[in-house]
Structure 1
Amino acid sequence: MPREVRERQMLDAAVEVFARRGYRAASMDEIAELAGASKPLVYLYLNSKEELFSACIRREAESLIQEIQAGVEPGDSAERRLWCGLRAFFAHTAEHPDGWAVLSCQARIHGEPFALVVAELRQRIVDLVTRLIAECAQPDGGRKPLSAREVSGLAHALVGAAESLAGWANHRTGAVPSARETAATLMNMAWVGLENLTGGRRWPPAAAV
């Protein structure tokens, strides 16, 4: 079997075990057994449990970023690109719940160097969303301009809300919302709010001051 195929099997098995057991409780024996490989072979390919976990995080992070980028057509309007990017994000996290669990939970609670990789992933997504919001907020007709600080704050808020919604959707009991429904939930909050801001409507209104 080619090395890249065998290594992919090991990473697939490791993501499943890390998501289910957590980093500390996961055993290399269980990962090797699930991958259909010997433990010495897993160590030969991936050196240590720490390096295996890091490889899982990087692979899942890159896969998520690529999915979001593939879902966004450069020629579309900023509004549609934001919508398609959110839909791609929720579709990917729903289709790869173990990978999302490793990224959103396991990698963050075990400190460096794992948390740094996730922070890099998050910043790449924030940067993408920041550009889209900045384009959406360009003064046009009656639209009001937004400051760079406002755009940055909105981008971080949107990404945080998306992460929270993905966890909510993936751990619901009963009917699970589709990626389209979850993305629409966030667009209903974010896009309507952005339209209000660029239209000059802000919190607090005069009546609430």
Structure 2
Amino acid sequence: MSAIEQTEATRPRGTRLPRRARRNQLLGAAQEVFVAQGYHAAAMDDIAERAGVSKPVLYQHFPGKLELYLALLDQHCESLLQSVRAALASTTDNKQRVAATMDAYFAYVEDPGGAFRLVFESDLTNDPAVRERVDKVSLECAEAISAVIAEDTGLSQDESMLLAVGLGGVSQVVARYWLSSESKVPRDTAVQLLTSLAWKGIAGFPLQGTEPH
């Protein structure tokens, strides 16, 4: 049962959803339609039907399909960023930080709702507003990682950012490949392998005041 169906099943008949709840319901319906059909093939009629509302109700919340898509994109970009930040803050052990961050990317792409496809594999990625958001979340994730690298290694901001972009990019690309290839490697094993690869590289930059291992 989808989130939309669960909402409808638990809502007493004859009651109206609060505005925020209705908006979330519409975003959930839009996500299902966009993931299944792609942006260009999806129609506002399809989204309204999936949400079980009339088109006027849908347009009361979102003036058009692009605005609806961007609202959904903002939601999922923020979700990824918060997951990466939480992973970095989950421990002070840097090897475990690498593992937690890798796992955050794998968890994101494995989400059954297919949110990562909206962010990284959309048929609308050439739209300036979409491209701006995708680039922004990648940059902000890298900035979060680079702050930890700079603090622990004493590398400059530019040097730390370069390493952070590399780590984030590897995590994202490998996690997406792992999912799309329907790899038989379990997620925990995939995260462990990628963590080992990344750690052997980043561990070459010692903590301030220590010698390299």
Query: Which TM-score bucket, shorter chain as reference?
Result: 0.7 to 0.9
Contact map agreement 2:146 2:157 (CA 8 A) in 1: no
For residue 161 of structure 1, what is the amino acid of its counterpart?
Answer: V
User: Aligned residue for 1:111?
Assistant: 127
| 1:91 paired to 2:100 | no
Compute the displacement of 1:165 (Å): 1.4
Matching residue of 2:96: 80
- Percent identity among equivalent residues? 29
1:6-65 CA distance string (max 9 Å, x none): 211111111122122221111111111111111221111111111001001001111222
Per-residue deviation at 1:197? Answer: 4.8
**Contact 1:169/1:177 (CA < 8 Å) preserved in 2?**
no
Quick check: 1:182 aligned with 2:163?
Answer: no
Greater Cα shift, 86-95 or 156-165: 86-95
Question: Cα RMSD over matched residues?
Answer: 2.4
Using structure 1 for the length normalisation, give the TM-score. 0.81
Q: 1:120 to 1:73 in 2, by over 3 A?
A: same
Question: Does the aligned pair in 2 maintain the 1:107–1:118 contact within 8 Å?
Answer: no
Q: Which residue of 2 aligns with 1:155?
A: 164
2:78 is aligned with 1:69: no
Question: Using the alignment, how far apart are the partners of 2:124 and 2:63 within structure 1?
Answer: 22
User: Secondary structure at 2:121's aligned position in 1?
Assistant: helix
Q: Which contiguous aligned blocks of 4+ residues in structure 1 show a shift greater than 4 angstroms?
A: 197-201
Q: In structure 2, do the counterparts of structure 1 residues 56 and 168 end up closer, same or farther at CA, with 3 Å as the change threshold?
A: same
2:70 counterpart residue number:
54
* Alignment correspondent of 2:173: 164
Structure 2: how far apart are the matches of 1:96 and 1:121?
Answer: 21
Contact 2:98 2:198 in 1 (8 A): no
Number of residue equivalences: 193
CA distance in 1, matches of 2:144, 2:173: 18
1:196 aligned counterpart, secondary structure: coil
Q: Which residue of 2 aligns with 1:19?
A: 35
Relative to structure 1, the CA distance from residue 105 to residue 191 in structure 2 (aligned partners, 3 Å threshold; closer, same or farther) is same
Name whichever of 2-11 and 100-109 sits farther off: 100-109
Conserved? CA contact 1:130–1:152, under 8 Å = yes
- 2:85–2:144 contact (8 Å) kept in structure 1: no
Aligned equivalents of 2:124 and 2:70: distance in 1? 12
Task: Provide the residue aligned with 1:125 in structure 2.
Answer: 141
The gaps in structure 1 that reach 5 residues or longer are 139-145, 202-209
Deviation at 1:186, TM superposition (A): 2.3
Structure 2: segments with no counterpart, 5+ residues: 1-16
Residue type of the alignment partner of 1:183:
V
Q: TM-score, normalised by structure 2?
A: 0.79
1:154-203 deviation line (CA, Å, top 9, x unaligned)? 1111111111112112212353631x3333232212110122354669xx
